[in-house]
Structure 1
Amino acid sequence: MSHATLVGLILLAGVLGFRHGIDWDHIAAITDLVGGGSDKRRGFILALWYAAGHEVVIIAFGALATLLGWTLPHWMDGVMERFVGITLFILAIFLIISFIRNRGEWVVMSRWRLLFIGFYRWAY
């Protein structure tokens, strides 16, 4: 593999990674972190940790798949898109219910907290 090919692949990975990062599910996750409080510095640091952690997982799985020669079936992309869409829809319902229960007062909660509250109420 030539040097130019390697540089091109790295640039392509960067562009595709940036494109992946501005999907709605990622914007929603980072908005949860940044919009949840009044301390902008803390929100920025949380968002930075989210992005760094996400990147480490992507690199680890990508390297493992590349080293082992694994590939996902083509239909998996469509299944995962639907799964993410359904989870975002369910979380939106939780937000609407929370908004109604709090009599129109907007209470910002992370998606994880909403899930824990929902599972707790369902289980007990």
Structure 2
Amino acid sequence: MITDTIIMLGLGFLLGVEHAFEPDHIVAISSLISKEKNLKKTTILGAIWGVGHTTTLFLAGIIILTLKITIPETIALSLEFLVGLVIIFLGFYVIISIDEKHQPYRSFTHIKNMIQNSSLDKNVKNTSIEIFL
């Protein structure tokens, strides 16, 4: 009996770890910590998100198992759709929250300089790729 319980808890833990690395979770946590530079703060924020997520799933699981109910497929699909909308919202949040000091395209300045300095014809000011940088 105790061995079965330990095996079930271990299996539940492993499935939870697998669940944590699904794309929707990676997107959610990365967008939440994207503005933070401090490792300690991002770790705390990630831990709070993880504990909150775990608590919600644990409570929902207890309710479902206690009441012995089955979630209809239409509700499950609706919840998956809601997750998709949340991911889209988080993507917009990250895009909107990018400020002037943290623009990803600025890291390509060195490529622009390389193109300008290595041009065979020094009179050519804009190459086709340089226009986009």
Counterpart CA distance in 2 for 1:25 and 1:48 is 17
Gap change, CA 1:70 and 1:4, over 3 Å in 2: same
Counterpart CA distance in 2 for 1:33 and 1:90 is 12
Task: Please say if residues 31 and 90 of structure 2, whose CA atoms lie closer than 8 Å, have aligned partners that are also in contact.
Answer: no
How far did 1:106 drift? Answer: 3.2
Please tell me whether Structure 1 or Structure 2 has the larger radius of gyration of its CA atoms. 2
TM-score by length of structure 2 reads 0.62
Q: Which residue of 1 aligns with 2:103?
A: 106
How far did 1:80 drift? Answer: 2.6
Q: Which residue of 2 aligns with 1:22?
A: 21
How far did 1:78 drift? Answer: 3.3
TM-score by length of structure 1 reads 0.65
Task: Please say if residues 34 and 40 of structure 1, whose CA atoms lie closer than 8 Å, have aligned partners that are also in contact.
Answer: no
Counterpart residue identity of residue 63, structure 1: I
Q: What does 1:19-98 align with in structure 2 at a 5 Å threshold?
A: 19-93=18-92, 95=94, 98=96
Counterpart CA distance in 2 for 1:39 and 1:59 is 30
Task: Please say if residues 36 and 43 of structure 1, whose CA atoms lie closer than 8 Å, have aligned partners that are also in contact.
Answer: no
| Uncovered stretches (5+) of structure 2, i.e. residues with no partner | 105-133
Runs of 4 or more off by more than 2 Å in structure 1? Answer: 32-35, 74-83, 85-96
